[in-house]
Amino acid sequence: MKRLIFTLVGIALACSVSEIAGSYQHIAMAASITQVIATSTTQGEDEISAKYASLGTSNGFLGSPTIEIWYTPDGVGRFQHYENGGSIYWTPRTGAHEVHGDIRAKWSNLDWERGFLGYPVTDELTTPDGEGRFNHFEYGSIYWTPRTGAHEVHGDIRAKWASLGYERSWLGYPITDELTTPDGEGRFNHFEYGSIYWTPRTGAHEVHGDIHAKWASLGYERSWLGYPITDELDLPGYSGGRYSQFEGGYIYWRASGGAVASKTLPSRPAPPTPPIPPTPPNTTLMTDRAVITKCGGMNCFYPDGAPIWYTGTFPPPIGTPKPANVLSIKSHIAMRFPITQASSDCNNTSKSFYVPRGGTLGPQQLRAIYGTETPGVRIGIIGCIAEIPSGGIPSQIFLDVTYRLQ
């Protein structure tokens, strides 16, 4: 650095002499300023020299220095270039870090430390997936692979990519730098398998896969959909379905129909019909409709006549075994069934249970009424209307009785 110091002294003295000839005071001032520079020239030199030594000095991948250790144009840091296309940069806040190869070339194209990335805060490192290389900088990163080249990512787009897992996410590596959208409102990076778009009003959101392809086919943000306002999400009600919401609508994807752009999401499909319990071997399931008539002026119901097996087109021909286990009873009106078969217990919630309109009495409730599910149980039902239908209490209601014949 002595060569640099003497040059600075010469320039300072020359300026003083030519501008104010014979002025001892200005010459002394120039010498004083030069002395300040001289005393500060070692700042950062030790750190750069130590980093260079840790990388193998001239025997390492950087090779021999091509310049002395210089001040950076912004006056904040120090640097040294080397013969194999690498550099070491230092500042008091970042320390000393090397940059080389295609990543250094990209950083150079972006105006070195004076660009929006600032100074490096790491050496060049291998990505966790082992495929690429990267340097982090004060305000962004540059990532490189042999198939994608070197590209920078910064700001909110980098933060979104980081939150998804960087290159290990489904987006993969960046294949562009951050660019301005054609409408001039937003910013974006394209990645191997998708994109991240940002505007001040929407923030940064990723779009990928078939949804990205559909959006691209419509014209990206210039389409009627505008910019994305969510990442890709699960499509409610559709197993495996996905969607992204945009300013003007949605793009949703289902395996059966592919990607569809729409103002609204598809309605949820009707819930599947509960499966019928498997029929035991050598048995037959049958359903009959029992007619239950009103008893007196009360809101209770019981089978028409004495307790019977059921009413309707049954029983089967003579010789057919009597109905065995009653499997379920479906109510066509909201009812309450007393556990003790006493109608007075209908409104006693501790001694009764409620079955909504269309609800079914299952085996446990049947056991509560009859105390058994053994063959020969009688359908002696007593119930109270828990919901008065419009038009008053009907004179008859129907219960669908499903039982098993053995």
What pLDDT does 391 receive? Answer: 62
Does pLDDT of 40 surpass 60?
Answer: no
Final residue in a domain of this structure, among 214, 230, 262: 262
244 and 354 share a domain?
no
Q: Kindly state whether residue 278 falls inside one of the protein's structural domains.
A: no
* pLDDT reported for residue 354: 81
Which pLDDT score, from 0 to 100, does residue 38 have?
40
Output the pLDDT for position 226. 98
Same domain, 368 and 234: no
By the 10 Å C-beta count (0-12 exposed, 13-18 middle, 19+ buried), 305 is classed as: exposed
Report the predicted TM-score, pTM, of the whole model to 2 decimal places: 0.60
Are 76 and 124 members of one domain? yes
Higher pLDDT, 377 or 290: 290
Residue 325 DSSP label: -
Range of the domain at 382: 284-405
In a domain, 96, yes or no: yes
Average of per-residue pLDDT values in the chain: 78
Same domain, 236 and 316: no
Q: What is the DSSP letter of 111?
A: T
Q: Are residues 316 and 217 in the same domain?
A: no
Dist. CA 49–CA 54, nearest whole Å: 9
Q: Are residues 288 and 397 in the same domain?
A: yes
Contact between residue 142 and residue 117 where contact means Cβ atoms under 8 Å apart: yes
Cβ distance 369 to 355 under 8 Å?
Answer: no
Three-class DSSP labels, 50-61: HHHHHCCHHHCC
Residue 45 domain-assigned (yes or no) = no
Q: Which residue has the higher pLDDT, 136 or 347?
A: 136
Q: Is residue 135 part of a domain?
A: yes
- 183, pLDDT greater than 70: yes
What distance in Å separates the CA atoms of residue 398 and residue 382, rounded to the nearest whole number?
Answer: 13
Report pLDDT for 381. 57
Burial class of 112 by CB neighbour count within 10 A (0 to 12, 13 to 18, 19+): buried
Tell me how far apart the alpha carbons of residues 364 and 373 are, in angstroms, rounded to a whole number. 9
Question: Where does the pLDDT of residue 339 fall: very low under 50, low under 70, confident under 90, or very high at 90 and above?
Answer: confident
Backbone angles phi, psi at 24, to 5 degrees: -65, -35
**What phi and psi values does residue 305 have, to the nearest 5 degrees?**
90, -165
Domain annotation covers residue 217:
yes
pLDDT surpassing 90 at residue 369: no
Does residue 4 surpass a pLDDT of 90? no
Query: Do 238 and 95 belong to one domain?
Result: yes
Structure confidence at residue 60 (pLDDT): 97
Question: Is residue 52 in some structural domain?
Answer: no
Q: Is the pLDDT reported for residue 117 higher than 90?
A: yes
Long-range contacts of 161-168 (CB under 8 A, 24+ apart): 161/189, 161/191, 161/196, 161/206, 164/206, 166/127, 166/128, 167/127, 167/128, 167/129, 167/131, 167/132, 167/143, 168/128, 168/129
Q: Is residue 59 part of a domain?
A: no
pLDDT category at 197 given cuts 50, 70, 90 is very high
Mark whether 10 and 88 lie in a shared domain.
no
Question: Who has greater pLDDT, 290 or 172?
Answer: 172
Q: Which tokens go with 145?
A: 């692979």
Residue 321's pLDDT band, with cuts at 50, 70 and 90, is: very low
pLDDT at 350: 77
Mean pLDDT is lowest, of 48-57, 131-140, 276-285, 378-387, for 276-285
Residues 221 and 326 in one domain: no
Shared domain for 292 and 398, answered yes or no, is: yes
- Both 333 and 383 in one domain: the answer is yes
Please say if the pLDDT value at position 83 is more than 70: yes
Q: Which of 52-56, 79-83, 129-133, 372-376 has the lowest mean pLDDT?
A: 372-376
Of 12-16, 97-101, 154-158, 381-385, which range is least confident?
Answer: 12-16
Same domain, 81 and 219: yes
CA-based nearest residue to 333, from 287, 400, 284: 400
Asked if residue 329 lies in contact with residue 366, where contact means CB atoms within 8 angstroms, the answer is yes
CATH number at residue 365: 2.60.120
- How far apart CA 395 and CA 242 sit, in angstroms, is 51
Name the domain count of the chain: 3
Count of beta carbons in the 10 Å neighbourhood of residue 203: 15
pLDDT of the residue at 375 = 41
The answer as to whether 208 is a domain residue is yes
